[in-house]
């Protein structure tokens, strides 16, 4: 039966590509050309299934077997249609020997990503919350934590939370009798589907799969940004992208940035393709894929602003007949804004506390985005005259010079200029008043990629900006460079994240690292063009090997480390001593309580602060313990006095973890151990 169940659940994975072909076919003749790109088709299919999976999770109908059977139905419809089978064959790239280094890089990256996953289950940071959400979906079939079903809705500890006491359960919002997870369900639903097929521990390998796909999508993007004759430099950019420390770390983790980057990279490719084809329909479609990233991560609202600013820029410089380029850029921005607004409506209805906590960042970005879009549209309707060739040439030189001056300031002067910026956040108030270290963003970026890579990126970005404003020659590449430039600048200027590395680098994964590496490839190709052809080929190979070796050596202390190994088994051992039909209490650890509650479905609540030492007699009169036996999970050094207390077990939680630091890169690993006692209180 288990084999039949797994076979049924496998159906969704076979259906992603056919679903992408189906959605593309629905878009009409102008959209169907996208079916020639296998990665784009996969992205479109994954977007369609993501929306469906989220809807099922919210409605309490998340049943992997039924979803898999539906997927098999889609696959069978695809297989019996010869036209769609032919479309799939046409989408496969022709094999060329130049793809050998690309394949080698991707295979090695896949091994490093999938072979050493981090078992992030404790909700002290975001990755544990995503993992708990996925395990809860596998067990309960819903994104909501039903307190009535668990039997803890009337417990005094829970009622106190409903009356305003802090829940002390990271990543869980108390919203009535059905509590809500903090983040979008987009990543957890796919983690749960992979866990249903391969076992619960497989949830920690989803990002390895997405990370490999992102490598391929980034390579396609880099090739499109580079001019013909210089596109082999995309191999060096891919090596840096695949092996840089933040990419390796996050592809082993259970965070949402890789899935967000998946939609950004493919959406960018579609949008650039729309620009090159002068297709408004493709522009809407590419914008919608870019906006899908907001459904994955709420801070991706910045991409809507970016698309709108790119539209404003194209309105100002487009001198083509009929202003066709500006019209397509406006369609891209409109599609992105529409998709973004729909994603924010999802957060407003189903994850409202999270949206409220970020409202001071999200709402200004959305307002600016819609204002820029409206301004671009009005200017295009009023026959706004673009900048003259002379004016744009002059502006190009000033813009390039200004950018390089800002780069010099940010790289070597800004880190020592005081006063330093301080954190102000509603979501992490305990960090308020401390430094966010935004002043050393470029220095930290150099620590990840290498100073020469960042210098090459500065050259490439400056030249790219000059080329866009002076006389656009490769319009699609120019639009992509404009798009990448804005979020790169925003996230380097204000990372908006806890500043300890490698954690802080996750904010740069969707756009900063891709943008820097694309610009670095442009800069390196510009310098390399001065050399003879044979020398260029040798130089590309040497740079690719040197970058790979440098980046992997930089991670030598933890390249083959499995962080938090056996974490699930250790917490499961504690859960095994807790009853499933009565309330238990956890003292001293909100992350452990949330892992037991949502990860393993145990009806647990946080024990309110008690006088020290804990007294069995006092606990026996508390809440769910009154008049019946009760189980307490507490630190071993926090003894419970009294004759009514009986120790059931003492279990450790041992964690091997990477060190963190405010200056990247953090070096070394360390071990943490906490000992927990499970005590039964008799009435």
pLDDT greater than 90 at residue 324: no
The model's pLDDT over 382-419, given as tens digits with 9 standing for 90+, comes to: 766 666 667 777 788 888 888 889 999 999 999 988 88
The model's pLDDT over 384-394, given as tens digits with 9 standing for 90+, comes to: 666 666 777 77
* Least confident piece of the model among 236-250, 291-305, 650-664: 650-664
The model's pLDDT over 658-674, given as tens digits with 9 standing for 90+, comes to: 988 888 788 889 999 99
The model's pLDDT over 629-649, given as tens digits with 9 standing for 90+, comes to: 888 898 988 878 776 788 899
pLDDT at 142: 93
- Beta-bridged to residue 645, according to DSSP, are 681
Average pLDDT over residues 251-264: 95
* Least confident piece of the model among 130-134, 433-437, 556-560: 433-437
Distance CA 132, CA 254 (A): 10
Q: How confident is the model at residue 80 (pLDDT cuts 50, 70, 90)?
A: confident
pLDDT at 254: 93
In the 8-state DSSP scheme, what is residue 130? Answer: H
- Write phi, then psi, for 631 (nearest 5 degrees): -110, 135
pLDDT greater than 80 at residue 176: no
Of 122, 109, 360, the closest CA to residue 258 belongs to 109
Given the DSSP bridges, would you call strands 640-641 and 604-606 parallel, antiparallel or unpaired? Answer: unpaired
CA distances (Å), 509 to each of 51, 248, 252, 308, in order?
A: 23, 11, 13, 22
pLDDT at 156: 77
Q: How confident is the model at residue 431 (pLDDT cuts 50, 70, 90)?
A: confident
Of 300, 364, 311, the closest CA to residue 334 belongs to 311
Give 85's contacts (C-beta < 8 A, 6+ positions apart): 78, 79
Structure tokens at 388: 């003259």
pLDDT at 164: 65
Structure tokens at 332: 């891209």
Strand blocks (E) in 344-395: none
pLDDT greater than 80 at residue 321: no
Please, what sign has the CA dihedral across residues 142, 143, 144, 146? positive
Average pLDDT, rounded, for the chain: 87
pLDDT at 157: 75
Distance CA 279, CA 295 (A): 25
Of 108, 440, 96, the closest CA to residue 241 belongs to 108
Query: What kind and span of H or E run contains 84?
Result: helix 82-91
pLDDT greater than 70 at residue 610: no
Distance CA 304, CA 289 (A): 11
- Beta-bridged to residue 640, according to DSSP, are 614
pLDDT greater than 90 at residue 344: yes
Average pLDDT over residues 508-533: 90
Distance CA 387, CA 404 (A): 23
pLDDT at 533: 80
Helix (H, G, I), strand (E, B) or coil at 654: strand
Give 144's contacts (C-beta < 8 A, 6+ positions apart): 58, 60, 178, 179, 180
Q: How confident is the model at residue 184 (pLDDT cuts 50, 70, 90)?
A: very high
CA distances (Å), 333 to each of 313, 336, 519, 628, 641, in order?
A: 12, 5, 23, 61, 65
Angle between helices 324-350 and 280-296 (to 10 degrees): 30
Tokens 């079903």 appear where? 149
The model's pLDDT over 135-151, given as tens digits with 9 standing for 90+, comes to: 999 999 999 988 888 88
pLDDT greater than 90 at residue 133: yes
pLDDT greater than 70 at residue 272: yes
Angle between helices 186-198 and 257-277 (to 10 degrees): 110
In the 8-state DSSP scheme, what is residue 252? Answer: T
Cα–Cα–Cα angle for 114, 120, 122, nearest 5°?
A: 170
Write down how long the chain is.
683
pLDDT at 535: 85
Average pLDDT over residues 480-486: 85
Q: How confident is the model at residue 259 (pLDDT cuts 50, 70, 90)?
A: very high
Of 539, 510, 535, 41, the closest CA to residue 264 belongs to 510
């Amino acid at each position: 039966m288990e084999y039949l169940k797994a076979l049924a659940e496998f159906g969704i994975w076979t259906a992603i590509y056919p679903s992408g072909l189906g959605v593309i076919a629905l878009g009409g003749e102008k959209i169907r050309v996208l079916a020639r790109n296998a990665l784009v088709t996969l992205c479109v299919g994954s977007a369609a299934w993501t929306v469906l999976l989220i809807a099922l999770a919210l409605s309490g109908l998340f049943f992997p077997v039924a979803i898999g059977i539906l997927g098999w139905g889609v696959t069978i419809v695809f297989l019996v249609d010869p036209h769609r089978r032919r479309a799939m064959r046409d989408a496969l790239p022709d094999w060329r020997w130049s793809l050998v280094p690309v394949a080698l890089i991707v295979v090695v990256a896949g091994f490093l990503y999938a072979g050493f996953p981090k078992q992030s289950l404790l909700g002290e940071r975001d990755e544990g919350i995503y993992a708990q959400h996925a395990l809860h979906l596998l067990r309960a079939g819903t994104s909501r934590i039903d307190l009535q079903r668990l039997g803890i809705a009337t417990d005094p500890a829970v009622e106190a939370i409903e009356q305003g006491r802090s829940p002390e359960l990271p990543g869980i919002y108390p919203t009535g009798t059905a509590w809500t997870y903090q983040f979008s369900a987009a990543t957890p639903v796919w983690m749960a589907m992979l866990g249903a097929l391969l076992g619960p521990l497989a949830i920690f390998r989803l990002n390895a799969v997405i990370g490999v796909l992102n490598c391929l999508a980034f390579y396609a993007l880099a090739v499109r940004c580079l001019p013909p004759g210089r596109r082999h430099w995309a191999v060096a950019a891919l090596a840096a992208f695949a092996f840089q420390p933040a990419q390796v770390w996050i592809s082993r983790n259970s965070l949402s940035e890789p899935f967000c980057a998946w939609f950004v990279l493919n959406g960018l490719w579609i949008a650039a393709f729309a620009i090159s084809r002068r297709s408004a329909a493709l522009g809407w479609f590419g914008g919608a894929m870019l906006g899908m990233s907001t459904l994955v991560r709420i801070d991706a609202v910045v991409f809507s602003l970016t698309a709108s600013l790119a539209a404003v820029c194209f309105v100002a410089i487009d001198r083509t007949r009929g202003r066709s380029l500006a019209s397509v850029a406006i369609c891209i921005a409109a599609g992105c804004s529409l998709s973004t607004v729909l994603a924010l409506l999802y957060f407003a209805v189903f994850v409202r506390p999270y949206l409220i906590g970020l409202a001071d960042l999200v709402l200004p970005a959305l307002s600016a985005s819609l204002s820029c879009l409206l301004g671009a549209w009005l200017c295009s309707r009023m026959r706004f005259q673009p900048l003259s060739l002379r004016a744009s040439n002059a502006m190009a030189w000033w813009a390039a010079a200004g950018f390089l001056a800002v780069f010099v300031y940010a790289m070597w002067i800004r880190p020592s200029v005081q006063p330093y910026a301080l954190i102000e956040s509603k979501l992490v108030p305990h960090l308020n008043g401390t430094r966010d270290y935004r002043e050393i963003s470029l220095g930290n970026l150099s620590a990840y990629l290498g100073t020469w890579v960042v210098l090459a990126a500065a050259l490439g970005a400056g030249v790219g900006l000059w080329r866009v404003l002076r006389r656009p020659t490769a319009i699609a590449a120019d639009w992509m460079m404009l798009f990448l430039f804005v979020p790169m600048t925003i996230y380097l200027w204000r990372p908006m994240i806890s500043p300890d590395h490698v954690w802080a680098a996750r904010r740069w994964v969707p756009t900063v690292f891709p943008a820097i590496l694309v610009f670095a490839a442009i800069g390196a190709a510009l310098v390399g063009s001065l050399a003879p052809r044979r020398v260029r080929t040798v130089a590309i190979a040497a740079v690719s090997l040197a970058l790979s070796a440098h980046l992997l050596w930089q991670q030598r202390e933890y390249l083959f480390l499995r962080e938090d190994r056996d974490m699930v088994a250790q917490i499961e051992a504690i859960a095994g001593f807790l009853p499933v039909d009565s309330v238990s209490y956890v003292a001293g650890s909100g992350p452990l309580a949330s892992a037991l509650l949502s990860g393993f479905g145990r009806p647990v609540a946080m024990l309110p602060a008690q006088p020290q030492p804990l007294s069995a007699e006092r606990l026996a009169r508390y809440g769910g313990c009154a008049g019946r036996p009760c189980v307490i999970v507490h630190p071993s050094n926090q003894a419970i006095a009294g004759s009514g207390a009986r120790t059931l077990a003492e279990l450790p939680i041992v964690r091997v973890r990477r060190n963190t630091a405010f200056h990247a890169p953090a070096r070394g690993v360390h071990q943490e151990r906490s000992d927990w006692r499970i005590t039964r209180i008799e009435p």
